[in-house]
Amino acid sequence: MKRGLTLLEVLVTLAVASASIAAVAHSTWSLLAARRASDRLQAATLIAERRMEALLARGDDALARQDSSEIVTDAAVPFTVRTVVGDGPRDNLWHVSVTVAPPGDGAGIGFHTLVRRRWSTL
């Protein structure tokens, strides 16, 4: 009786090992890509939240109609920030909107709210 492995057994073993290593490498790459996307969305959310808080902190007297867009860099990643302040559904309301879009992604993070304004400022 001979001891050892045949050439066919070695080839099958190498094929199975190669497929396993490729699967692990693909999973790792997918996890890293998802982590980067999650970090970008988290940064976009933080930028939108800060911008919205800054607008609301001014108070209703300081709000005026605007539609502006700018590039903000956070952690070496440029984000497009669009700020819109316009008339709300009623005469005494402002509609305030902040949208932050990460690079390479058409979808953005958007915050919207209505702010009551005084009748005398109309």
Whether the predicted model's global pTM rises above the 0.75 cut: no
Place of tokens 């940064």: 43
CB 109 within 8 A of CB 48: yes
Domain 7-121 belongs to what topology?
A: Pantoate--beta-alanine Ligase; Chain: A,domain 2 (3.30.1300)
Predicted pLDDT at 52: 94
Segments making up each domain of the chain, as ranges: 7-121
Dihedral sign of CA atoms 32, 33, 34, 39 in order: positive
Tens-binned pLDDT, residue by residue, of the chain (122 aa): 678 789 999 999 999 999 999 999 999 999 999 998 888 888 899 999 999 999 999 888 888 899 999 998 877 788 999 999 999 988 889 999 999 998 776 678 999 999 988 765 44
- Quickly list DSSP for 88-101: -SSTTEEEEEEEEE
Q: What is the pLDDT of residue 122?
A: 46
